[in-house]
């Protein structure tokens, strides 16, 4: 029972290598797409794109995520639009390969950190947070600056 006293910390330690391997698969998929963009030969380009798809499928298999292909349309929104919205917002493989992996493209490893929070009050279980070392860029919405009131100082 003693090895399992720090349950949450051990879960963070167990999840860390999985996250690191998933980021590596995402980086490999992005690298294959970059190679495909620079090629002019159709066969070589198709092979590079197939390699990218292969890495994305490996990531999906590791995550055990099934592809979602059918979205019923509603009178106001077409199924194709709903599928694209889901892909951009909720598809984990898309988020991994297109948002998280490019942040770490120049980094050789060590994509995550574990921050120890100490003991939880109540049952004294060890707590820890597993987070990315570098954060993916958030979408920035530009707003117009508010002009100051001429009457106020």
* 32, 55 contact by CB (below 8 A): yes
Give the Cα separation of 151 and 13 in Å (integer). Answer: 58
Q: What is the DSSP letter of 90?
A: T
User: Of all helices (H) and strands (E), which one includes residue 43?
Assistant: helix 42-63
Q: Mean pLDDT check: name the lowest of 1-15, 35-49, 50-64, 69-83.
A: 1-15
In this prediction, residues 6-31 reach a mean pLDDT of 84
Is 35 contained in some domain? yes
Is 138 contained in some domain? no
CA-based nearest residue to 24, from 113, 115, 100, 133 = 100
Strands (E), 103-149: 112-119, 126-132
pLDDT of 7 > 50? The answer is: no
Tokens of residue 77, six digits: 């929104």
pLDDT of 23 > 60? The answer is: yes
Give the Cα separation of 125 and 141 in Å (integer). Answer: 40
Is 140 contained in some domain? no
Instruction: Give the dihedral of Cα atoms 116, 122, 123, 129; nearest 10 deg.
Output: -20
pLDDT at 72: 64
Is 150 contained in some domain? no
The CATH number that applies at residue 115 is 3.90.1030.10
Is 109 contained in some domain? yes
pLDDT of 126 > 80? The answer is: yes
- Please count the structural domains in the chain: 1
The mean pLDDT value of the chain amounts to 79
Tokens of residue 93, six digits: 């493989």
Is 141 contained in some domain? no
Q: How confident is the model at residue 113 (pLDDT cuts 50, 70, 90)?
A: confident
| Domain encompassing residue 11 | 2-67+76-132
* 108, 19 contact by CB (below 8 A): no
Q: How confident is the model at residue 32 (pLDDT cuts 50, 70, 90)?
A: very high
Q: What is the CA radius of gyration of the chain?
A: 22
pLDDT of 153 > 60? The answer is: no
Is 146 contained in some domain? no
Is 147 contained in some domain? no
């Amino acid at each position: 029972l003693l090895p399992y006293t720090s349950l949450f910390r051990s879960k963070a330690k167990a999840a860390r290598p999985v996250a690191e391997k998933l980021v590596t698969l995402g980086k490999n998929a992005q690298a294959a797409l970059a190679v495909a963009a620079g090629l002019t030969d159709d066969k070589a380009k198709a092979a590079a794109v197939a390699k990218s798809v292969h890495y994305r499928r490996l990531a999906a298999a590791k995550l055990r995520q099934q592809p979602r292909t059918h979205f019923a349309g509603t009178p106001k929104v077409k199924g194709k639009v709903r599928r694209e919205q889901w892909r951009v917002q909720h598809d984990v493989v898309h988020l991994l390969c297109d948002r998280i992996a490019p942040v770490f493209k120049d980094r050789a490893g060590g994509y995550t950190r574990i921050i120890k929070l100490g003991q939880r009050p109540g049952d004294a279980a060890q707590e820890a947070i597993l987070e990315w070392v570098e954060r993916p860029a958030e979408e920035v919405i530009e707003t117009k600056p508010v002009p100051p009131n001429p009457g106020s100082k």
